Amino acid sequence: MVLLAVAVALSGGLLAGTLLAERGDPPWPSYAALFDEAVPSVVSVAIEGGELRLGSGFAVSPDEVITSLHIVDAAGVITVRDVSGAERVATVLGSDARSDLALLKVPGANLSPVVLGAASDLRVGDAVVAIGNPFGLGHTLSAGVVGHRGRRLARDASSGPRVDFVQLSIPLNPGNSGGPVFDRSGHVVGVLSGVHGQGQAIAFAVPAEVVAEALPALRAGAMLSRAYLGARFIDDGDGVQIVSVTPHSPADRAGMRVGDRITAFGGEPVAGVGVIDAGLDRRTGGDPCEVRLLRDEALVVLDVVLADWAEQPVVAAGMTLRAASGMGGEVVAVRPRSRAEAAGVRVGDQVRAVDGVPARAPSDVKDALAEGRGAQVEVLRDGVAMVVALQDVEARPLR
């Protein structure tokens, strides 16, 4: 009987192997060759100064490394370590808060540059691998698949950096941010930007095309941030209508009102909210911008001086946040009986992420919490990272 069972098991295994072979699928896929080829291009990134922060990066030239801006946008000494263990001090050459990218200059390095691929060539289900520095372990490979393409994470598209992220089904951990995502050809197709705090093996990557487009400005030393207007819009079928104006914002100071309909932004006719979003992406704080709108069917022309999105204080879930370098903001006040107070948020907390998605400015936090849903908010308190749970607005008892 035992021999018969063994024979049946063996025959089943042989049959499965035969079927796999006939389809051309390897029964035991291996990423060893890809890892060996790619790992000389990957570095671990550490920032020392107060709290130790860890991330990853990859070479785009022998002495230039791409990483995530939210990793290095803070005071402290930046150190990169290659696969041989060699460590060098790096400096930020250029940055783009609109896509969460930073370019590091690493004097004396002799790294192997990656080949940038195209995320647009990926299909849902394609295999991808990431190499990074989870929990400081260094040069660790994780494998998974493309879960979705063109994923927008911001709930309010009117503020904050917006990227059509590649969603990945891949197990990642703190320290992987800024690291490369490779396709089966060994080309970089994305830069890891964050994970979903309430999901399992859900991560997001900035497409390689965004990196390629940003590189010239980063190499020229640009420090780019998106312009901030301070108004929210909707496409209502008859045009673009203002539905809210943030007090003391550029929109408020210029005289914009709820109900106004935008007809032109910066000299460009407005056919949809996307035109305004693209216009803000092309501008930065301090830039003037002419806005044409209809108010009670009369044409109104306003001259708006835009602000820097990353520097705007906001109120979200009952906590007032002001800009803090490399963070979603520092809590300077907590409203009594608010969701933030109920969750235990304290003055002095620094918000790092919402539901696992890194926050780079107070507006990011406001956008992520705008719908009133329950959320996991990662904060830094007295140098210690912790997570506070905000309840759903409808789930909170009245008091």
Asked if residue 368 has pLDDT above 80, the reply is yes
Per residue in 180-221, pLDDT tens? 999 999 999 999 986 544 445 678 899 999 999 999 999 999
261 C-beta neighbours (distance < 10 Å), count: 18
Per residue in 231-257, pLDDT tens? 989 988 778 999 988 877 899 999 999
User: Check: CATH 2.30.42.10 for 312-395?
Assistant: yes
3-state DSSP of 345-369: CCCCCEEEEECCEECCCHHHHHHHH
Q: What is the DSSP letter of 392?
A: P
- Domain assignments of the chain as residue spans, ordered by start: 32-105, 119-221, 230-305, 312-395
- Cα–Cα distances in angstroms (integers) from residue 25 to residues 32, 40, 121, 130, in the given order: 17, 28, 21, 22
pLDDT of residue 396: 41
- Contact at 8 Å (CB) between 111 and 43? yes
Higher pLDDT, residue 105 or 398: 105
Mean pLDDT of the chain, nearest integer: 83
**CATH number assigned to the domain covering 230-305:** 2.30.42.10
Domains 119-221 and 312-395 share a fold: no
Residue with tokens 């930020």: 92
pLDDT of residue 151: 53
Asked if residue 18 has pLDDT above 60, the reply is no
CATH number among 2.40.10.10, 3.20.20.140, 3.40.50.300, 2.102.10.10, domain 32-105:
2.40.10.10
Superfamily of domain 119-221: Trypsin-like serine proteases (2.40.10.10)
- Cα–Cα distances in angstroms (integers) from residue 70 to residues 345, 360, 364, 378, in the given order: 22, 6, 12, 14
What band does 278 get if pLDDT is binned at 50, 70 and 90? Answer: confident
pLDDT of residue 9: 40
pLDDT of residue 22: 61
Asked if residue 111 has pLDDT above 70, the reply is yes
Per residue in 34-52, pLDDT tens? 999 999 999 999 988 766 7
